[in-house]
Amino acid sequence: MTLITWMDDFSVNIKEIDNQHRQLIEIVNQLHRAMREGKSSQMINDIINRLIDYTQYHFETEERLMEAYNFPGYVHHKAEHAKLTRQVQEFQRQYRQNPMGLSVQLLNFLKSWVADHILQTDKQYTRFLNNQGVF
């Protein structure tokens, strides 16, 4: 059982971003699997680190693109990225303190984080960037 399954609705119609979103979903699913299989907290922490690193890289890609094309929602979107980054870092801190208590909460957060951010916020730049010839 996977936590998040890619669906066509997630597509922002920009190849590089879609690929990164798939990769992001894959890492969240790996985390889910590792937790379900009761892997060591060291291993789980490694996956959370990977998730944070990849998220950083992915957010930078989106921000570079929005900035390059003067997307009007850039500042707002960037602020949302910063907030999500802070939240996931906070979860990591809490996880380190109390690995047992946090798994379900963390996974629920990540699941809605990925899905909601893609569907609600990322989708806002699709039409704008597609109109600029970015696919």
**Nearer to Fe ion among residue 40 and residue 89 (C-beta):** 89
Task: Kindly state the smallest distance separating residue 42's Cβ from Fe ion, in Å.
Answer: 30
Task: Kindly state the smallest distance separating residue 78's Cβ from Fe ion, in Å.
Answer: 9
Contact present, 118 and 10 (Cβ < 8 Å): yes
Task: Kindly state the smallest distance separating residue 62's Cβ from Fe ion, in Å.
Answer: 5
**Nearer to Fe ion among residue 45 and residue 85 (C-beta):** 85
**Nearer to Fe ion among residue 14 and residue 122 (C-beta):** 122
Q: Is 74 exposed, middle or buried (0-12, 13-18, 19+ CB in 10 A)?
A: middle
Contact present, 16 and 43 (Cβ < 8 Å): no
**Nearer to Fe ion among residue 95 and residue 125 (C-beta):** 125
Q: State the residues that interact with Fe ion by CB under 5 A.
A: 62, 122
Contact present, 90 and 98 (Cβ < 8 Å): no
Where helices occur in the chain by DSSP H, the ranges are 15-36, 41-68, 74-97, 99-116, 123-131
Task: Give the Cα separation of 135 and 133 in Å (integer).
Answer: 6
Task: Kindly state the smallest distance separating residue 33's Cβ from Fe ion, in Å.
Answer: 25
